[in-house]
Amino acid sequence: RAKHSGRSTFAWYTSDMDADAQKRKEIEEGLEKALRLNQFQILYQPQYSLSDNKLKGYESLIRWHHPTKGTISPELFIPVAEDCGLIEDIGDWVLFNACHEAAGWEDKSLRVAVNVSAAQFKPQETERKVAQALAESGLAPERLEIEITESLLIANTDAVVETLNKIREMGVSIAMDDFGTGYSSLSYLSRFPFDKIKIDRTFIRTLGQETSTDAIVTAIIGLGRSLDVQITAEGVENMDQVILLRAAGCDLVQGYLYGRPGQVSDAPSVHVGKMGPNNAAPDLLYESES
Ligand code: C2E
Ligand code: MG
Ligand code: MG
Ligand code: MG
């Protein structure tokens, strides 16, 4: 009996892997096409200063509009792109287009943040591409922010830190994304002068509901203050979170409460709280929930 169940488990497991591999292959082939056929789009999610509710900039978030499957989430295709090497071309596309689009925004004080994944980061090449994107678009370097994650700093730290410093010397700011989820990491904070730390939304989600989360978020914000690093809270969805973040002295907020990823013209330059009953997030303004 044991043998039998072992075998059937194995069989089930393989067919599942086949389906997985098949799906990845499909995505991979689709991605090559997507680049050629211009099926990608950048949405922009607003970031507000918490103290005065003023719009400070946007994070660029890629979307893939598949001709038959509809819009595909980056959570699904970015990991595949990282594995098959297409992340470099996709990443270049985002960097150049985000810079071009931001250069055309009416308000020239607004920043644009671009996610650069560890798999796409190649020390000298990344530095050259950032410089090229700025030169070609005419975007002021101070308006560009590069978001990296802790995973980038694990391997090859010296070369990465050197490149980040060079990019920073251009005037571009560097943010650490998803802080607290990686292999933290406090040592990275002493090895590289980040301009910004983004607290991962898994911490923000349970803010006000768990004493431990409240303590961690408050501590990260305090750390930012002592290190003179700005702190952004990701995934802010309700007023309870805002109240706690304000009390803790958080600098910037980003989340559905303030605006979903969308068109830049849709985000007001000052956020006015227009919460519904129970401080529910505003209606889905730009992008439907997946
Ligand atoms: P991320 O860089 O941490 O981006 C924030 C994600 O949180 C976005 O998901 C955003 O839509 C979502 N989000 C923002 N506010 C809220 C909220 O209040 N509630 C909830 N539940 N979610 C919120 P998105 O756009 O699906 O992107 C997912 C991830 O895909 C990004 O996480 C990033 O790691 C990656 N990604 C997206 N665009 C790019 C890109 O152009 N290049 C690279 N390398 N990665 C990208
Ligand atoms: Mg990000
Ligand atoms: Mg993030
Ligand atoms: Mg994330």
Amino acid at 92: D
Residue 279 is predicted with a pLDDT of 45
C-alpha span between 259 and 112 (Å, rounded): 15
Q: What tokens does 186 get?
A: 């406090």
Q: What is the pLDDT of residues 205-215, one digit of tens each?
A: 999 999 999 99
C-alpha span between 217 and 222 (Å, rounded): 9
Task: Compute, in angstroms, the gap from residue 121 CA to the centroid of ligand 1.
Answer: 18
Q: What is the pLDDT of residues 2-38, one digit of tens each?
A: 444 444 445 555 667 788 888 889 999 999 999 999 9
Contact 234, 202 (CB under 8 A): no
C-alpha span between 259 and 268 (Å, rounded): 9
Residue 277 is predicted with a pLDDT of 44
ipTM exceeding cut-off 0.90 for this assembly:
yes
Residue with the smallest CA separation from ligand 1 atom 7 is 235
Taking the CA of residue 147 as reference, the ligand 1 atom at the shortest distance is 2
Mutate to test the pocket of ligand 1, among 234, 241, 242 (most ligand atoms within 8 A of CB): 234
For ligand 1, which residues put their CB under 6 angstroms from it?
45, 60-62, 73-75, 78, 91, 94, 115, 117, 147, 177-178, 201, 234-237, 254-256, 261
Low-confidence ranges of the chain (pLDDT < 50): 1-9, 276-286, 288-290
Residue partners of 244: CB distance under 8 A and separation at least 6: 207, 208, 214, 217
Residue 52 is predicted with a pLDDT of 93
